[in-house]
Amino acid sequence: MPIRHLPDHLVNQIAAGEVVERPAAAVKELVENSIDAGATRIEVDLSDGGKDLMIVRDNGCGMGREDLIASLDRHATSKLPDDDLWAIHYLGFRGEALPSIASVSRLKISTRVRGSDAFEIEVVDGVKSSVRPSSQMEGTSVEVRDLFYSTPARLKFLKTSATEYAAVKEMLQRLAMVNPLVAFRLTHNGFVSFHYPVLTDDAFAQTEARMRDIMGADFIGNSLILDAERGGVRLTGRIARPTHNVGTAVKQFLFVNGRAVRDKQLLGAVRAGFMDVLAKDRYPVVALFLDVPAEQVDVNVHPAKAEVRFQDAALIRGLIVSGIRHALHAQDVKPVTSLTDHLMKRMESPVQNSFSPRAYLTPYSSPSPSYSGVLAEHVYNAYAPQSSMEFAPSARFDAPLEEEVVSHPLGSARAQIHENYIIAQTETGMVIVDQHAAHERLTYERFKSQVAENGIESQAFLTPEIVSMDDTDCARLLEQSELFSKSGLEIEAFGAGAVAVRAVPALLAGRVSLPELLQSLADDLRDHDKATGLEEKLNEVLSTMACHGSVRSGRRLTVPEMNALLRDMEQTPMSGQCNHGRPTFVALSLADIEKLFGRT
Ligand SMILES: Nc1ncnc2c1ncn2[C@@H]1O[C@H](COP(=O)(O)OP(=O)(O)O)[C@@H](O)[C@H]1O
Ligand SMILES: [Mg+2]
């Protein structure tokens, strides 16, 4: 069969498969065009998740008559004036979005340059209409109807309206986060989904305001600020405290030079930063912005530009990992306010299980002088049968308030209940500490610093263990053998398809299966160019050991022991959460407590 050049319309449809595979991708392209056009206000209207209609309206620079016609041609762009792919200053540059979208939908563009006439053009079945006068205000408005009507095979892949709408919303939020000085509004089927205004021209304040709009005030109140620099690359943003973790990866907002990306390597680096403060199935909440000199990053590796390639990937990874670690270490011992709120709601709502503090306390609302004594007796008697609410002999309600320690963030211990929860009085309220979780974390941090100081002890085998593996995996591992030996793992070549293991980190000896360990390290190297697996395994063992070596719940502590634990927590980095991201303590302010009793 003879070779022929494909007609433009078909070429565009082929490209559309990559560039606009669903409404969210089309909206992304159109909104990025609006941002590139210098818009300060962008409105998106969808109907039926965008499958039926998407309109993107902006107040940007608009297009003149000739540009409007050219904008629909393949590889026609105003954004690469110097033909330099290493100096990309716009979100777009490939000149494919408009012709691609036009090839698989019914498209209409109306536009006006300030001080000129307005024009509009339509494309149906790949055929441009003539340019007509329009009533468009300054800026541009693009309407996309019946996406994929001409390519039924693709149409079949679209999900329900609700799912497509959710994808558009999530994508727009990413763009809105990194363009805080642009106001965004989204409507779906006539209802306003969100409206993010611009309240100030102070870039930092507006960035914070936008983050609050998108992530919630909760995030701002429970997150740590990052600001780090290395080799000309700057990393800024916020990470939620680990206790604020979630069950999905969608709350990880990553940006490179103003571009929203979903890059596996970057997500991996974030994961590594949170390595030992989150359970495997939990995800951190982050909004991180990387500023990389334009010539050190290639954004032209992915048609939808969701991935990027860095000249020095190790530097970027290191910056993210250490930036996050640093912020986590530096965090003060601060209670999780979102949890407190949650707790308050639980306590305030009519409780289904037997304990109803409000109902119970009503008779005592005008306390007699012996109030606390009576109450304590009463609580004790009422609940002793089911739940044995006991106090250690030295830890009663009247445990002395230690004046000099109450000013510490975690206060002065007053009581231990259910043999695991320490109640301490602080200057502004009270905290409840989960003694087991807290102690486990402290022990773990101690193990880690011991390992950091004394290095990792390695234990040699009498005769090397031979592990057979795939050739390429062997090669990958052996390339890194020097690095592994620093962590106590000694490996050598052993002919084709096998490695010999001479020694393992003493901490791992007898605790892991060697073939499994080596395979996971090799997989890691293949996927991430870097084996975090070993460090993670070591940390896992440390954390299991910490768990076994910790004060079990159920052990009574004396007041000095409790106070010692509180002081230890204040001094130990990252002691606010256990190894799985659960909090080790919660706090109630006096104001909260008063609210519970209806005193406000
Ligand atoms: N909303 C808009 N406002 C002004 N000009 C636009 C707008 N959308 C598209 N254009 C013009 O159309 C051209 C083609 O757009 P597109 O196909 O998305 O390619 P690219 O963005 O890669 O240049 C752009 O380079 C720009 O000049
Ligand atoms: Mg574009």
User: What CATH number corresponds to the domain at position 169?
Assistant: 3.30.565.10
Q: Which residues surround ligand 2, an ion (CB under 5 A)?
A: 33, 92, 97
pLDDT, position 340: 58
Give 306 Cα–ligand 2 centroid separation in angstroms: 14
The number of the ligand nearest the C-alpha atom of 93 reads 1
34 and 60 in contact (C-beta within 8 Å)? yes
pTM above 0.75, yes or no: no
Of 45-49, 223-227, 528-532, 582-586, least confident by mean pLDDT is 528-532
269 and 189 inside one domain = no
Whether residues 325 and 368 share a domain: the answer is: no
CATH number of the domain residue 251 falls in = 3.30.230.10
**How far, in Å, is the centroid of ligand 2 from the Cα of 11?**
17
> Among 291-300, 350-359, 414-423, 588-597, which is the least confidently predicted range?
350-359
Q: Which residues of 206-234 are buried (b: 16+ CB within 10 A; e: fewer)?
A: bbbbbbebbbeebbebbbbebeeeeeebe
Q: Which ligand is nearest to the CA of 96?
A: 1
**Residue 553 — pLDDT band, cuts 50, 70, 90?**
low
Residues in the chain: 600
Cα 168 to ligand 2 centre (Å): 17
Identify whether residues 360 and 311 lie together within a single domain.
no
210 falls within a domain:
no
Tell me: pLDDT of 156 over 50.
Answer: yes
Q: Are residues 295 and 434 in the same domain?
A: no
Q: Which residue, 342, 326, 266, is CA-closest to 586?
A: 342
Does residue 199 have a pLDDT over 90?
A: yes
More confident residue, 355 or 343: 343
**Would you say residue 337 lies in a domain?**
no
582 phi-psi bin (left φ>0, alpha ψ -120 to 50, beta other): beta
**Residue 120 lies inside a defined structural domain of this protein:** yes
563 occurs within a structural domain: yes
Query: Residue 316 pLDDT > 50, yes or no?
Result: yes
Quick one: 132 and 163 in the same domain? Answer: yes
DSSP state, residue 368: -
Asked if 257 and 310 sit in the same domain, the reply is: yes
Residue 286 resides in a domain: yes
Same domain for 220 and 308, yes or no, is: yes
Residues flanking ligand 1, CB < 6 Å: 29, 33-34, 37, 58, 60-63, 71, 77-79, 92-98, 140
Closest atom of ligand 1 relative to the 139 alpha carbon = 3
pLDDT of residue 307: 81
CA nearest 141: which of 60, 72, 67, 78?
60
Q: Atom of ligand 1 at shortest distance to CA of 29?
A: 18
In a domain, 471, yes or no: no
Q: What are the tens digits of pLDDT across the range 32-87?
A: 999 999 999 999 999 999 999 999 999 999 999 999 999 999 888 888 877 777 66
Q: Which of 18, 27, 32, 33 for mutating ligand 1's site (highest number of atoms within 8 Å of CB)?
A: 33
Reported as a single tens digit per residue, the pLDDT across 428-445 is: 889 999 998 888 888 888
Give the CA dihedral 306, 308, 314, 316, nearest 10 degrees.
-70
Q: Is residue 2 part of a domain?
A: no
Q: State the pLDDT at residue 403.
A: 67
Q: The tokens of 193 are what?
A: 């989904």
Q: Can you tell me the mean pLDDT for 254-263? A: 91
Give yes or no: residues 399 and 538 share one domain: yes
Residue 51 pLDDT: 95
Kindly state whether residues 143 and 240 are assigned to the same domain: no
Shared domain check, 443 and 553: yes
| Domain limits for position 20 | 8-196
For residues 391 and 532, state if they share a domain: yes
pLDDT at 372: 31
38 alpha carbon – ligand 2 mean position (Å) = 13
Q: If pLDDT is split at 50, 70 and 90, which confidence band does 393 have? A: very low
Question: Which pLDDT band holds residue 135 (cuts at 50, 70, 90)?
Answer: very high
Q: What is the pLDDT of residues 240-252, one digit of tens each?
A: 998 888 888 888 9
pLDDT at 347: 58
| Domain end among 196, 225, 246 | 196
Kind of pairing between the strands at 421-425 and 429-434: antiparallel
Give the highest mean pLDDT range of 329-333, 399-403, 437-441: 437-441
Are 179 and 114 contained in the same domain? yes
Tally of domains within the chain: 3
| Residue 97 CA to ligand 1 centre (angstroms) | 8
- For 13-23, write each residue's pLDDT tens digit: 887 777 788 99
The band of 546, judged by pLDDT with boundaries at 50, 70 and 90, is low
Q: Does residue 248 lie within any of the structural domains? A: yes
Which of the listed residues 196, 231, 258 is the one where a domain comes to its end? Answer: 196
- Compute the C-alpha angle 183/185/191, nearest 5°: 160
CA of 77 to the centre of ligand 1 (A): 6
pLDDT at 68: 97
For residue 314, pLDDT over 50 is answered with: yes
Which ligand is closest in space to the CA of residue 71?
1
